[in-house]
């Protein structure tokens, strides 16, 4: 029998050897050799011996579920300061057969940009965040490490009537958001963020910097919604700005079950996707105490949160004609500039907070979280809704956000980009569970509650496949082992949920541009090895 002390010495030795094997010093030397001498790469390298290693890692962790001592840490962080550093990371990562994770804003719900079950190094993009806006051509180049808030604020500084359709959380990174779709409260008018991307610069598996012309239309198609992390490292996107009115109107109206929520939600289901495309009404459903005095009895609250691209008079006339059940009044409506509506929608800040708050790179509050997604193709009956309320009240914690589609979303063909959820999808469901308790038991408890609600919803949502949204990363849909024999079928499992019939085109492009599968993560596009052999 070995004694515990000998055992732990032994395991330290094994750990050390395996670290040396996977992360040889020659990797660092390779990085130095392959980068541009006028931009010293050594300043961008953080090994675990560097006292800043953990603070750099933690500064873009946005799900505290992955901020634990048992979460595997990267063996090296390269916080690229120059394009040549990204090129070096790819060339040397390939040479040394290391797994590279790519992080821009770190908002991936499953942490796939900075968490791994096997040794890896992290390519961090937060230093590359310049934004170059050209009002004359109504376009902009924006680097991956910029946040949505920085981008929108930058646009508003130059024009009060130009904007860009993105998600509603200003700290989200441009890098991950735009490559997986990116939706927000202007999607019914302008589509997804990625529907408005007109060019991109990235570094491919051969370490080349390419743009739309040199990468070709196939690859440009793939990174617009297919998740660039399977194909390349995106340095920057060129986007087409969109027109916004000088005055927009927002409202948030809440109704509980006692205030006819069921009737109103039932009506919302039939109109929300057909309304004028200037009008977006999100529905948030959560469980609250019935009153402050009777904390034991719960009720369901339906919150209708809206952005209207116009003034309150036109909004009220549209609402009275199409959705009188909500009973919207003038006093519910708040008129403001478009950039103020961005601040309002971010929900973190009180009304009237100056737009500069959009420049804060860190959200005011972080929690542990789990998200899942679904698509609804037919309105749910009143009985169906009542069953859902009962289940939600029983589970209490997980809540639902319904985001209506229609408008521009239904006009764009399902094959235009890899994101396939277009005509026929009435709204998307987001399952939301946040918690503050630490530890694996709490995490398992809340994951279980979220999955229970998702299972309950099965009869009401899309099937064969049950569709999902890539920006709402959900590892319950499957994880790829990247084994040559099983990788394709494993990838197909989650791939058809995220991409439907576009999955196979993504696989073909992947197999052509990255046959060695250097760009991989838990849910990347797999290589089809047979296809490779045929060619
Ligand atoms: C609080 C919060 C609110 C959100 N709100 C919305 C919303 O309103 N609408 C919406 O659509 N989504 C929303 N999301 C989801 C968000 O869009 C996605 O998580 C998005 O991928 C985050 O981008 P990121 O750069 O911050 O994330 P990261 O975690 O850095 O990256 C996400 C994925 O993209 C890859 N990636 C990142 N950068 C690059 C790059 N430069 N090149 C290649 N691959 C890259 C990563 O490897 C990872 O797989 C929200 C998320 C959070 C946490
Ligand atoms: C993440 O964990 C570290 C180490 O335990 C801790 O110091 C830090 O405050 C945590 N981050 C957040 C945002 O809670
Ligand atoms: C609920 O609806 C009924 C019938 O449509 C109506 O009489 C009642 O006033 C409504 N209640 C509230 C609180 O709006
Ligand atoms: C509801 O009541 C419980 C106590 O039973 C309390 O812990 C909780 O914070 C209350 N929730 C809200 C939203 O007020």
Whose C-alpha lies nearest to ligand 4, atom 6? 295
Nearest residue CA, atom 2 of ligand 4?
A: 295
Query: CA–CA separation, 53 vs 76, rounded Å?
Result: 8
Record the tokens describing residue 424, joined without a space: 């026929």
The model's pLDDT over 436-476, given as tens digits with 9 standing for 90+, comes to: 999 999 999 999 999 999 999 999 999 999 999 999 999 99
pLDDT at 312: 98
Beta-strand runs (E) in 9-166: 45-46, 77-79, 100-103, 121-124, 131-134, 139-143, 162-163
Average pLDDT rounded to a whole number, residues 57-86: 97
Whether residue 289 has its Cβ less than 6 Å from ligand 4: yes
Burial of 360: CB neighbours in 10 Å, binned 0-12, 13-18, 19+: middle
Query: What's the mean pLDDT in 241-263?
Result: 98
Whether the CB of 61 sits within 6 Å of ligand 1? no
Whether the pLDDT of residue 365 is over 60: the answer is yes
Supply the mean pLDDT for the chain. Answer: 94
Sheet order of strands, 131-134 included: 131-134, 139-143, 233-240, 197-203, 209-210
| 500 closest CA partner among 413, 416, 418, 406 | 418
Instruction: Work out the number of other CB atoms within 10 angstroms of the CB of residue 145.
Output: 25
294 lines ligand 4 (CB under 6 A): no
Identify the pLDDT of residue 25: 80
Protein residue with its CA nearest to atom 8 in ligand 1: 167
Protein residue with least CA distance to atom 28, ligand 1: 106
Question: Do 425 and 468 form a contact (C-beta atoms < 8 A)?
Answer: no
Query: Cβ(295) to ligand 4 under 6 A?
Result: yes
Burial 366-386 (b: 16+ CB within 10 A, else e): eebbbbbbbbbeebbeeeebe
Residue 78 near residue 103 (C-beta atoms within 8 A): no
- In the reported structure, the alpha carbon of residue 471 is separated from the centroid of ligand 1 by a whole-number distance in angstroms of 6
Mean pLDDT across 336-349: 94
* CA-nearest residue, atom 14 of ligand 3: 259
Q: What pLDDT is recorded for position 529?
A: 86
Q: For residue 535, what pLDDT band results from cuts at 50, 70 and 90?
A: very low
Which pLDDT belongs to residue 109?
Answer: 98
Q: Whose CA is nearest to atom 4 of ligand 3?
A: 260
Instruction: Give pLDDT, residue 36.
Output: 81
- H or E segment to which residue 338 belongs: helix 338-345
Q: Which pLDDT score is estimated for 348? A: 81
What atom of ligand 3 comes closest to residue 259's alpha carbon? 13
Look at ligand 3, atom 2, and give the residue with the nearest C-alpha: 260
Residue 109: closest CA among 172, 199, 51, 154: 172
pLDDT value of residue 46:
97
Confidence check: pLDDT of 15 > 60: no
Can you give the pLDDT at residue 292? 74
Residue 7 pLDDT: 53
Task: Decide: 465 and 509 in contact? Cβ < 8 Å.
Answer: no
User: Minimum-distance ligand to the CA of 256?
Assistant: 3
- The confidence score (pLDDT) of residue 534 equals 45
Write the CA distances from 295 to 258, 291, 301, 379, 449, integer angstroms. 16, 6, 15, 32, 21
Cβ burial 92-110 (10 Å sphere, 16+ → b, else e): bbbeeebbbbbbbbbbbbb
Domains of the chain and any CATH numbers: 19-124 (3.30.43.10), 131-243 (3.30.465.10), 250-334+367-471 (3.40.462.20), 478-534 (no CATH)
Q: What are 29-52's pLDDT values in tens digits? A: 999 999 888 999 999 999 999 999
CA nearest neighbour of 119 among 102, 98, 104: 98
The whole-number pLDDT of residue 13 equals 55
User: What pLDDT, on the 0 to 100 scale, is given for residue 28?
Assistant: 94
Q: Inform me whether the pLDDT recorded for 3 exceeds 70.
A: no
Q: What is the dihedral of CA 64, 67, 71, 72, to 10 degrees?
A: 130
**253's tokens:** 């109206």
Please write the tens of the pLDDT for every residue from 285-332: 999 998 877 667 999 999 999 999 999 999 999 999 999 999 999 999
The whole model's pTM is what? 0.95
Confidence of residue 136 (pLDDT cuts 50, 70, 90): very high
Give 500 Cα–ligand 2 centroid separation in angstroms.
Answer: 38
Mutate to test the pocket of ligand 3, among 260, 262, 301, 326 (most ligand atoms within 8 A of CB): 260
User: Residues 387-405: what's their mean pLDDT?
Assistant: 98
Q: Which ligand is nearest to the CA of 260?
A: 3
Say if ligand 1 is within 6 A of residue 521 CB.
Answer: yes
Q: What are 100's two structure tokens?
A: 């590279």
């Amino acid at each position: 029998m070995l004694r515990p002390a000998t055992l732990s010495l032994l395991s330290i030795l094994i750990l050390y050897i395996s670290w040396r094997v996977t992360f040889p010093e020659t990797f660092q030397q390779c990085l130095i050799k392959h980068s541009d001498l006028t931009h010293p790469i050594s300043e961008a390298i953080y090994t675990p011996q560097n006292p800043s290693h953990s603070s750099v890692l933690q500064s873009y962790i946005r799900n505290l579920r992955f901020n634990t001592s048992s979460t595997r840490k990267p063996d090296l962080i390269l916080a690229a300061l120059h394009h040549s550093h990204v090129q070096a990371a790819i060339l040397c990562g390939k040479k040394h057969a290391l797994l590279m994770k790519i992080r821009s804003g770190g908002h991936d719900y499953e942490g796939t940009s900075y968490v791994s079950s096997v040794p890896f190094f992290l390519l961090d993009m937060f230093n590359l965040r310049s934004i170059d806006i050209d009002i004359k051509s109504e376009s902009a180049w924006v680097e991956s490490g910029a946040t949505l808030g920085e981008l929108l604020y930058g646009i508003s500084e130059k024009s009060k009537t130009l904007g860009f359709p993105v998600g509603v959380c200003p700290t989200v990174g441009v890098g991950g958001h735009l490559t997986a779709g990116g939706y927000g409260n202007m999607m019914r008018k302008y589509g997804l963020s990625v529907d408005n991307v007109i060019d991109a610069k990235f570094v491919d598996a051969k370490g080349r910097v390419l743009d739309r012309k040199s990468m070709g239309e196939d690859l440009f198609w793939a990174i617009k919604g297919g998740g660039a992390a399977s194909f390349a490292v995106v340095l920057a996107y060129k986007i087409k700005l969109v027109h916004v009115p000088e005055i927009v109107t927002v409202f948030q109206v809440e109704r509980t079950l006692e205030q006819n929520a069921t009737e109103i939600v039932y009506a919302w289901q039939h109109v929300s996707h057909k309304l004028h495309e200037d009008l977006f009404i999100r529905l948030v459903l959560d469980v609250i105490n019935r009153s402050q005095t009777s904390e034991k009895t719960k009720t369901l609250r339906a919150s209708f949160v809206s952005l209207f691209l116009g003034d309150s008079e036109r909004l009220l006339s549209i609402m009275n004609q199409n959705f009188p059940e909500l009973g919207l009044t003038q006093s519910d409506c708040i008129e403001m500039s478009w950039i103020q509506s961005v601040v309002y929608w971010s929900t973190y800040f009180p009304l009237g907070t100056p737009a500069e708050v959009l420049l804060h790179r860190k959200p005011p509050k972080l929690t542990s979280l789990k998200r899942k997604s679904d698509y609804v193709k037919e309105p749910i009956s009143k009985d169906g809704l009542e069953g859902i309320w009962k289940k939600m009240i029983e589970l209490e914690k997980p809540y639902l956000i319904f985001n209506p589609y229609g408008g521009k979303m239904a006009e764009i063909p399902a094959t235009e980009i890899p994101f396939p959820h277009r005509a026929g999808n009435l709204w998307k469901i987001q399952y939301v569970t946040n918690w503050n308790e630490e530890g694996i038991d709490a995490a398992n408890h809340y994951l279980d509650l979220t999955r229970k609600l998702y299972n309950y919803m099965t009869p009401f949502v899309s099937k064969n496949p049950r569709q999902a949204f890539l920006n709402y990363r959900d590892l319950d849909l499957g994880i790829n082992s990247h084994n040559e024999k099983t990788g394709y079928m494993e990838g197909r499992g989650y791939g058809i949920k995220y991409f439907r019939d576009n999955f196979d085109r993504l696989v073909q492009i992947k197999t052509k541009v990255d046959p060695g599968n250097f760009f991989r993560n838990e849910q990347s596009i797999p290589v089809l090895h047979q296809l490779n052999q045929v060619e």
